[in-house]
Structure 1
């Protein structure tokens, strides 16, 4: 298969939020729905976006996307979209909000429910214009072709991937991340690193996505500690936001067992970035033996000394920024190891894994980080 990249138009700079009116105009959107969550409304980030619209009255707001994106949340947003006769979506938030915005963009044109499209990319035929403004730096949803939605809050997320889900415009303004708490800065930053690492190992060939992945690894390794230590460090915030976008581009190449583990453990209220990072630690010994040269190149990209493994570098960075390295420390309780291993085996991430784990492999990997 010929490698494919489909990228949004990107505004990446402090103050990039001011490009929103121009972006809406160029897409022909006259009445967008601003989709966000309560926290961003409360801390003033949503107000910053409204301020960038300079008194423009032709928009509506839906700020009730839950922390983990659910089908119910998307359907509530769809009701607001229709009630206000909107003609485009502006998603302002982290991965949950952006993934919800992507699904809303499908439903706004095609109708139905999120369940109709999960695992069925061929059903995605058209979407409403979508602009995204990430307020975290890690999920990469602003550049990726995927959306993951939980059918209910207690169920694992289900995904759909289509090039139509790549946003038309990504406005990546690091000023919007200044209010992000230290722990979320750490978790989302390591989520970006996990995308880059897994993409390099993934089986499909995509030289541009791979180059982005190596670049993202360098930036996370060089600047995440600073961003966690001082959330108002403008250079660090910009660099990590760039790395997050690069990780989203890298996802076009594919992911693997680390994200399979993260999704399998997505049925409890634990941050996805934390789970993805634990998944990387759990799976690196397994995947690195298949591609030791790539593992060494990534260790070099992290700035590690000769002889220091990629896994040791990830562990050291995680410890420096205060992230847990086991599921129990993260607050996840493995009630049935075999069931979680089977859930990991059933995810679509195994399709792009260069070395495909078996059930026993997953049981061993997950058991090692319990």
Structure 2
């Protein structure tokens, strides 16, 4: 067993209606003015107003920023940081999925230490604690509320860069299943399979440890039997609760074990072709599982038994059975199966492969991967 370390430096509140605890959390942190970061879509659904009302009913001041865009950019972060400084707020509440939380984390960095967000690209370059963040996920998928990373698109390079530091972990996470029970089926599917892939990639990562294994296995045990019913009926409260907690466990797992080739290859797909992150991951997963197959030492069978619909564990397992089961799950969720279906073309494969090789997730994939491998994987998934 290799050496490892872990810590869980956050406070996490879970429960239907747990948002009502937000004012108390802010007061405990001596913050009387909060900066809400979210997007126009959630504002139109009334989610932002609901949280704003809870904050203000607690006697606290609130400034709202709704400029978050999918695949947030350097300009997005700069704008949010400027608005935060102008507001006089002393804490941030991030409302949404990964995009809102990525903007919140990087805003917290720049507000505390200045400079450009590109100065902090890579591993552990944030020098210390950032602005306190309370994360309120509205999807069961990203795990960003408990992850130490943010992915920001640098449009000058047409590149999705990663800022990774445990100083960026939100101080609090509020997991209220009410927040995910109105999501459209397509979003529930894309986010849910993303959470499952977080757990799978962390589980087979070369940086996996007994701690991350425990988190990943629990995530798969919760997500595996609940993803299909949750996508079919987001009002299924038991499925919603399982998906929300499972996503958080998966986030804890990959925060320490990192990920693999699925995520390394998916980020360029979003940067070059604006493919939804969870969709890109779902398309790539069977291809990457097949590529990594010869490195398996029994973990594929465990993954298979977590996600299959049959009640009893499989007998006479072969790794190909997991690949077939993943495809079956993807079909059941109504997701695209090839890159060509989502508008990807081969002419950008060389550039995308070069960007994928810059991802820290390449280093923790269970099979060594070079740029020729990446190009072939893209071609196979096309």
Fold conserved between structures, TM > 0.5 = yes
Return the match for 1:88 from 67, 91, 95. Answer: 91
Which range is displaced more, 129-138 or 217-226? Answer: 217-226
The aligned runs of 1:1-370 (5 Å cut-off) are 1-55=3-57, 56-119=59-122, 121-152=124-155, 155-251=158-254, 252-267=256-271, 268-303=273-308, 305-306=314-315, 307=317, 309-370=321-382
Find runs of 4+ consecutive structure 1 residues off by over 3 angstroms.
303-308
Paired residues of 1:193 and 1:247 also in contact (CA < 8 A): yes
**Would you say the 8 A contact 2:56–2:62 is kept in 1?**
no
Give the aligned length: 370
The more displaced of 151-160 and 39-48 is: 151-160
CA RMSD in angstroms, aligned pairs only: 1.7
Secondary structure in structure 2 of the residue aligned to 1:324: coil
Shift, 1:334, TM fit: 3.4
Q: What's the TM-score, normalizing by structure 1?
A: 0.95
User: Which runs of 5 or more structure 1 residues have no equivalent in the other structure?
Assistant: none
1:275 positional shift: 1.1
Separation (CA, whole Å) in 1 of partners of 2:346 and 2:145: 31
Deviates more, 1:133-142 or 1:145-154: 145-154
Q: Are the structure 2 counterparts of residues 2 and 29 from structure 1 closer, same or farther at C-alpha, using a change threshold of 3 Å?
A: same
SS at match of 1:184: helix
**TM-score, structure 2 as length reference:** 0.92
Contact 2:223 2:243 in 1 (8 A): yes
Gaps of 5+ in 2: none
| Residues 128 and 283 of structure 1: CA distance in aligned 2, closer, same or farther (over 3 Å) | same
Give the Cα–Cα distance (whole angstroms) in 2 for the partners of residues 25 and 122 of structure 1: 30
SS in 1 for 2:196: helix
